Structure 1
Amino acid sequence: MNAQGLVLDESISTLPSDIIENIIWRLPTEEIIRASILSKEWRYSWSKVPKAAFYEDFFDDESINENQLPVIEQEFENPPSEMKNMSKRCKFFDAIRQFLLQHQGPLIDFTLSTRLSGTTIDWVEIDQILLHLSRKNTVKKLRLSSPCDMPLSIFSFHQLTDLCLSNCGIYDAPTFNGFGSLKTLCLEHVNIHKPALMHILSNNPLLKSFTMLTGDYCSIQIIDEDEYGTIDELFQFLNVIEHLTLTVWEIECLCRGVVPRKLATALVHLKSLRLEGMSFLINNWLLIFILMIRSSPNLEKLTLEMKDLPWMNFDNSLYSVTMRDCSDIWLEHLIELEIENSDDTRHLLEFARLILAKSPILKKLRLKVVTLKLVNDLLSSPPASRMVEIVGFHGGKDHVIFRSHKSVSGS
């Protein structure tokens, strides 16, 4: 639905206010403002919507006429592209300011996404926007994506339950006592100083879901050699986490030395674990993975996003030694295992067979590519579960390759 698809007639003006609000609240933010011209009854309905999302990539400034252009731009018949981009950026932030100034009532859900910029305008504008929102003290869900150092005003929100930051930097340890109500924290491609990360995690005791994804590099900044510590330092603040998503080398970045056999503080509340950038061929990463599942006794879903590293030379003997180290693992609550993007069939098969043998209530094994030969190889050793599906997924759909309704071992 969009504002242009709404027909302007007398029936619009006679709609009950609750229906008008219901229609308005389902529109994207830019369409909400456009809808305000349909009738006088609609004119200020947008100002009460509890959520707003501003994406610079999709910002349309065509409604601004020539007389509203900045003076410096009006002086050029064909302004340079850099000047046009800067002008559009200024209009984008001006539109946000106007929205916030005219908005009435609580604003619960707010999203802001800006593009790459070589100026400091992002930092100044975002700081002002965050200060305005924090004074309202109503925002519970906040999503920010901007290639700049995040202003410390981000830590002035006390009602947040969900915070997602991406493509930014956090280098100063905030002097705050936590968000108080934060349950979900997502950091995607965020360069962050280790003390700042530790401070944030240690001051949010209600955190239930934590995501930290980076891509092909480690985003945790270690400034001083003394900052290197142990894996236990990270997970001591995540002992109440229920859903955890990490890039495996982020864990490795936090410490130097031997990977412990088990975490000092078990992740007894963890139900869902997703590890990205995983490889069965790097011994230290495999040790970290085994540490995670050994320390998560109540795990229900395990997802591995594999990273193939064909340019590296590996000692395959290390893998077998590490797999034998799993003899004490028993995943009594695991229901689903998903392995994405693995072309390493040999080690995938060995690992999947191990999980099948150690998961008595496993219901689904999802693999990107499944052949009948692979299924037969997997079942060469009896699975522990009485009911298990082996599923291949591609094209966004699951394709059941094998389904068992009784224990192969007869137990």
Structure 2
Amino acid sequence: MELVHGRKGRASRCAPVEDVIGNMPENVITNIMDRLPLQEAVRTAILSRKWRYKWTLLSQLVFDYDFFQSLKRSGDAIMHFDQKNISRLMLHLKGAITNFVLDMPEGIALDVEDVNHWIIFLCRIGIKKFTLLNDYDELKLPANIFSCIALQHLELHCCFFSPLPSFHGLPNLLSLELYKVRVQDYKCGDIIAQSPLLEKLSIFDFVARCEVKLVEIVKLANLRELCLSLLLLDNVTMTRPSNIFHQLSLLPKLQNLILYFWDCTFLAEVGEQTWVSTAFPCLKTLSLYGIDFSSDTMLSCVIGMLSDAPNLQTLDITAAYKSTLPPPLISFLEVDCNTIGQLQLQNVVLASIKGLENEVCLIKSILACSPLLKRIVITPNILLMGDGNEKFKLASKLLKLHRASPLAEISFH
């Protein structure tokens, strides 16, 4: 019996071993390649003869921060990075490139002609996600990027373009992020209006002539995330902040709202009851930057929005004042918790706080109406930060306020 067993053992060792890794389906290999850093994916060519060209199944080209950091670690100087390699990689890939990311570090000057060739090539094969992060010299992009109807995600930094007169929108676009982007001979609102499936929209630091109409944004019925610099709104100086919030409440699926108020000048609210009733039933996260708490109007709008967002969980506010001098003492706006309602807030961040009565009023309202609150993080204004006595007075005042949540923690940073 032992002899027979030994023969079987030797026979099994001589049997050919199936090459499971080398015979994997192409879709599985593509999935593996796309999860590897670009350099590691290309290096799989040395694994075996069968894997020599497996890297050509890549469907993503990601030249991001990690990519350029790996060049540093490997001893290659970033300044000697050859962008012609991107063109060579594109020509070797067998499948469709669905995701292209280029995040250029400082020290590399992009060749506009190369970038245009890449965009033309990618649009021809039906790119779905295109990201160009360029924070240095403004790049002129070809109009071809707006002829790619398969595009689902578009993110552009520091560039300008001019869509063709025949442009009829991006029907499959789900997210659009524009930072320091300039549109020539075209209205930004037209691009937004002709992208009906948008779920995420971010427009920040536009040139003034690329004004955006809020009425065009609120037509996006699928919008879940909005990041907007209000300074870019058309006729913002003729608008009341309560009206802006009212229009935004027309977005039925909005979950994450980020608004920048810096350098904005609004019409003064008229009358005591200035807040127009709104409803943000799906809103979970609200970030407001550049709020002037020396204004009773702004405080009323913030509190009014909190009361109209019954499911809000995260609140992030950064205060900003036009003058470095302490604002004059203003009337303290009392808030009835029966009016504001019960909030679902769990985490709150308030930055650049000066200790004004209006700021204390907001904190008092949040603490009294948020039974699920876990933490409020308060970062004092730089002037208050340098005055230990005033900082202590503010902390003492806040610690005496009633808290609806037994777990609520006030943290000073």
- Provide the C-alpha distance between the structure 2 equivalents of 1:229 and 1:376, rounded to a whole number of angstroms: 35
The one of 359, 362, 367 equivalent to 2:373 is: 362
Cα gap change, 1:129 to 1:15, in 2 (>3 Å): farther
Using the aligned pairs only, state the percent identity.
18
Instruction: Name stretches of at least 5 consecutive residues in structure 2 with no aligned partner.
Output: 1-18, 69-77, 88-106, 386-390
Aligned counterpart, 1:280: 293
1:48-197 aligned within 5 A: 48-49=59-60, 62-63=81-82, 88-101=111-124, 103=125, 107-117=127-137, 122-123=140-141, 125=142, 127-131=143-147, 133-134=148-149, 137=150, 139-148=151-160, 151=163, 156-169=169-182, 172=187, 173-174=189-190, 178-191=194-207, 196-197=212-213
Shift of the 129–179 alpha-carbon distance from structure 1 to 2, 3 Å rule, reads closer
Residues 140 and 21 of structure 1, relative CA distance in 2, 3 Å threshold: same
Alpha-carbon spacing, 1:64–1:303, altered in 2? closer, same or farther (3 Å): closer
Question: Is 1:22 aligned to 2:40, yes or no?
Answer: no
2:144 is paired with a residue whose SS is: helix
Whichever residue aligns with residue 280 of structure 1, its letter is F
Could you tell me which residue of structure 2 aligns to residue 404 of structure 1?
A: none
Give the structure-1-normalised TM-score. 0.66
Give the equivalent residue in structure 2 for 1:262. Answer: 275
The unaligned stretches of length 5 or more in structure 1 are: 1-10, 69-83, 394-411
Describe the shift of the 1:28–1:110 C-alpha distance in structure 2 as closer, same or farther (beyond 3 A): farther
1:401 equivalent in structure 2: none
Contact 2:310 2:344 in 1 (8 A): no
Residues 169, 192 of structure 1: 8 Å contact kept? no
Give the C-alpha shift of residue 329 in structure 1: 4.1
Whether contact under 8 Å (1:188, 1:211) holds in the other structure is yes
Partner of 1:212: 228
Q: Report the alpha carbon displacement of residue 392 of structure 1 after superposing the two structures with TM.
A: 4.6
> Shift of residue 289 of structure 1?
2.0
Q: Distance in 2 between matches of 1:228 and 1:317?
A: 24
CA RMSD of aligned residues (A): 4.3
Higher radius of gyration, 1 or 2: 2
Q: Secondary structure at the match of 2:352?
A: coil
Shift of 1:195: 7.1
Q: What's the counterpart of residue 80 of structure 1?
A: none
Give the distance between the partners of 1:185 and 1:208, measured in 2 at CA: 9
How many angstroms does 1:111 deviate by?
0.9
Distance in 2 (alpha carbons) for counterparts of 1:89 and 1:326: 59
One-letter code of the match for 1:367? Answer: I
Equivalent pairs, count: 342
What is the deviation of 1:328? 5.4
Deviation at 1:230, TM superposition (A): 7.0
> Do 1:193 and 1:220's aligned partners in 2 also have CA atoms closer than 8 Å?
no
Instruction: Give CA-to-partner distance per residue, 1:110-148, whole Å, 9 cap, x none.
Output: 212335547xx614x2x22332x22xx2x3222122332
Q: Which residue of 2 aligns with 1:45?
A: 57
Summarize the Cα distance change of 1:15–1:338 in structure 2 as closer, same or farther, 3 Å threshold: farther
AA partner of residue 56 (structure 2): Y
**Residue of structure 2 equivalent to 1:388:** 408
Aligned to 1:396: none
Residues 338, 381 of structure 1: CA spacing in aligned structure 2 closer, same or farther, 3 A cutoff?
closer
Change (3 A) 1:162 1:255: farther
